[in-house]
Amino acid sequence: MTVNSNYLFKSDGLGVVAADDQRITGIQINEGAHLILPQHASNSYVSLSLQNDIQNNGALTVQNIENDASREDLNLYVAAYYGTGSIDLSGDSTRTNGQNAGDIQNNSPYNSKCRSI
């Protein structure tokens, strides 16, 4: 992801990200894998826009807020969200009373049951 962008890009590390590189259109998270999305610089949430689907059979989460026990909110703008995996937006309960969990907003027109959110 790039700063203040809702899109993921693949990069060979040589060009300018989001200019010469291709935008990711769908994501598959395999069982046992974790996808941790970075926090945005100027927002209190992480937005992810994909032209196609997220198949989550692992774990999807966002990075903890730096120097804080909170986790940012997650907004999904995808064609479909499905799988047997989890979305974990719990905060770091070892650093504060309570979890300071993030919210989730799933704007997908098609959602299949997942193990836990």
Measured in whole angstroms, how far is the alpha carbon of residue 81 from the centre of its chain? 12
Q: Please report the pLDDT score of residue 108 as a whole number.
A: 74
> How many C-beta neighbours within 10 Å does residue 8 have?
21
The secondary structure of 21-88 as a DSSP string is: SPBP--EEE-TT-EEEEPPPSS-SEEEEE-SS-EEESSEEEEPBPTTSS-B-EEEEE-SEEESS-EEE
Sign of CA dihedral 60, 72, 11, 52: positive
Query: Mind listing the pLDDT tens digit for each residue in 41-86?
Result: 556 778 888 989 999 999 999 887 766 667 788 889 999 999 999 9
pTM: 0.76
Return the DSSP state at 104.
E
Which of 23, 86, 22 is closest to 50 using CA atoms? 23
Cβ within 8 Å of residue 13, ≥6 positions away: none
Query: Mind listing the pLDDT tens digit for each residue in 9-37?
Result: 787 777 776 654 678 889 999 999 999 98
Q: Does residue 117 carry a pLDDT above 60?
A: no
